[in-house]
Structure formats: C-alpha cells, structure tokens
C-alpha cells in the first residue's frame, strides 16, 4: 500500500511538472522572440532557438529610457497606493457583511453582487469621474476607479471572515470591552493575512496591468502609466512602419515585432518578481474564502 501511494505521488509530481513547463513555454518563447532579429521573425516566424540574436528592440526602447522610468514610477505609485487602499476599503466593507446581526446585511450583499452582473456603462462613469469628482488628468484618475473594481473580492473576503475567524474570539473581545474598530484592527486583521494577501495580489495585478483608465481619463503625458506609455510606443511604431510613412522616411527597418515582445517582457517581469511573496498565502486565502459560511 505504501509503495502504491508513492507511485501515485511520483505520477502527480510528473503531471505537475509537465503542466508547469507548459505554462513556462509561452513566456520563454516571448523572451526569446524579444532577442531575435526582426528579419528572421518575419522570414521564419518565432522560435525557441533563433539563428540570429539581436537587442535592437531593447536598444530602441532604451532611447526612451527617461519616459519609461517616469512611467514606471507612476505605475509603482498607483499600484502601491491603490493596492493598500483598495484592500483596506474591501476589508472594511466585507467585515460588517460577515456579521449576522448587521441590519440590512442581505440587501447590502445583494447590491454588491448586482455590480458583478450590471454596471452603469462608460458614459455615466466618465461623467461622474470628470464632471463630479474632477479627477481627469490627475493621478487619482488611475487610482480611484480601481478601489472597488470587483465585488467578488468583497464577497470572497466576507466568506473568509465568516468561516476562518472564530466567533468565540470576537465574543471574548466584546466581553473585554473592545469596540468594533479595535476588534477589527487588533484581532480580525492579524488573523486574515491569507485573504488580505490574496485580494492584495488581485489588486496589484489590476493596477499594474491597467491601461483602460489611462486611455479614458489621461491626456497629459506626465501621468502616463507604464501600460499607457508602452501602448503609445507601439502605436507610434505601427504608424512609422505603415506604407505611407515608410515611403517618406529614409531610416532603416524598425524592429516592430520584436519591440512588441520586449514591451510585454518589460511589463510582466515585475509581476513575476512580486508573485513569490504572495504565493504562500494565495491558495489558502482563495480556498478558505471561497467556502460559503
């Protein structure tokens, strides 16, 4: 029996290694394509083992290093601030919903769930943010729309509070005279590290990859995030490589395809660096939070 269990264990390990390699192959191809000569990609397509290596794509992006560094700073700022504030707002909304004695608890939960199915649309949202809040062409236009971007995070955290935080601990804190804020700050938050890290990872990815808010609300290049700047660079390359412009420009061929790959590498590497810090909390927070209380 012991030998049979070990055989299944080895088989499961092999299957997971194969699945992991299948997930890594596309990223490896992306990196190799960014270091491949432009003409070889046009002639032979993408390959894990290119015949000619080239750093032209990164040299082209290096000419815009000042703009990219500034955009990195903007993206880091909105990611850090948005993630911290977003997780705090989500937790403060989810905790009251997890308490059975909260008035109108079911109605509030239904309204949050309703936002998962329907939204007001782009035009009303744009008018609220520009005419009422007046955040167009400010750094807040990249932060405020994502603070409660998904009601799923609220419901996920509410389920975690309901199932993973012992009711006896909350009752003992109330008996000792602790108020709701003291209980939430000193007891609930320290016991909720897995779900906070899970929702924090969701928020981090959301803010880092966000390009839509910048496209809609930002026209001032001083507030371009990394995704908006890279998208603008890609648009400029497509314009310069078009037939009408190419005929009037005497410069050599531009690395359009390899720049696409290099832009993707620049955008995804910071996320890969941040993920290991969240990984040990991610699965536990997602599984426990998904259990219906």
How many CB atoms lie under 10 A from the CB of residue 111?
11
Q: What is the 3-state secondary structure (H, E, C) of 128-140?
A: HHHHHCCCCCCHH
Convert the pLDDT of each residue in 137-165 to its tens digit.
999 999 998 886 678 888 888 888 888 88
**Quick one: pLDDT at residue 147?**
84
List, for residues 27-73, the tens digit of each pLDDT value. 888 888 888 887 887 787 777 887 788 888 888 888 888 888 898 89
pTM beyond 0.95, yes or no: no
Task: List own/partner pairs for 61-69 with CB under 8 A and 24 or more apart.
Answer: 61/233, 61/259, 61/262, 61/263, 61/266, 64/233, 67/221, 67/224, 67/229, 68/226, 68/229, 68/230, 68/266
Location of structure tokens 């310069």? 240
Q: Distances in Å between the alpha carbon of 114 and those of 37, 108, 146?
A: 50, 10, 17
Q: Evaluate the CA torsion angle 214, 218, 223, 229 in order and state its sign.
A: positive
Mean pLDDT, the chain, whole residue set: 81
Closest CA to 196 of 277, 111, 75: 277
**What pLDDT is attached to residue 142?**
92
pLDDT for 293 equals 42
Question: What are the tokens at 126?
Answer: 């744009």
- Burial of residue 105 (CB within 10 Å: 0-12, 13-18, 19+) is middle
* Nearest C-alpha neighbor of 32 from the set 23, 41, 43: 41
- Mean pLDDT on 213-224: 89
Cα separation, 73 vs 66, in Å, equals: 11
What is the pLDDT averaged over residues 85-94? 91
Report whether 24 contacts 12 (CB < 8 A).
Answer: no
Q: How far apart are CA 276 and CA 265, in angstroms?
A: 18
Euclidean distance between CA atoms 69 and 27, whole angstroms:
23
């Amino acid at each position: 029996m012991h030998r049979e269990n070990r055989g299944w264990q080895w088989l499961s390990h092999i299957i997971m290694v194969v699945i992991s390699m299948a997930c890594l192959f596309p990223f490896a191809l992306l990196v190799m394509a960014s270091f491949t000569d432009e003409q070889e990609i046009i002639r032979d397509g993408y390959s894990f083992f290119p015949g000619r290596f080239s750093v032209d794509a990164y040299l082209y992006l290096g000419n815009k290093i000042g703009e990219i560094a500034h955009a990195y700073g903007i993206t880091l700022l909105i990611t850090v601030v948005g993630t911290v504030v977003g997780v705090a707002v989500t937790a403060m909304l989810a905790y009251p919903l997890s308490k059975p004695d909260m008035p109108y608890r079911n109605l509030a939960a239904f309204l949050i769930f309703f936002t998962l199915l329907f939204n007001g649309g782009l035009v009303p949202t744009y008018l609220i943010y520009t005419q009422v809040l007046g955040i167009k062409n400010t750094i807040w236009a990249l932060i405020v729309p994502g603070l409660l971007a998904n009601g799923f995070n609220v419901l996920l955290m509410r389920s975690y509070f309901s199932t993973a935080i012992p009711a006896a601990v909350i009752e003992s804190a109330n008996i000792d005279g602790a108020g709701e804020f003291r209980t939430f700050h000193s007891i609930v938050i320290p016991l909720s590290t897995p779900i906070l890290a899970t929702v924090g990872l969701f928020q981090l990815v959301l803010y880092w990859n966000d390009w839509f808010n910048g496209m809609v609300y930002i026209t001032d290049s001083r507030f371009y995030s990394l995704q908006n700047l890279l998208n603008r660079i890609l648009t400029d390359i497509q314009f310069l490589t078009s037939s009408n412009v190419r005929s009037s420009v005497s410069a050599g061929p531009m690395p359009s395809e390899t720049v696409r790959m290099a832009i993707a590498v620049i955008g995804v590497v910071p996320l890969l660096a941040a993920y290991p810090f969240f990984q040990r909390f991610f699965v536990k927070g997602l599984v426990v939070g998904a259990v219906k209380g």
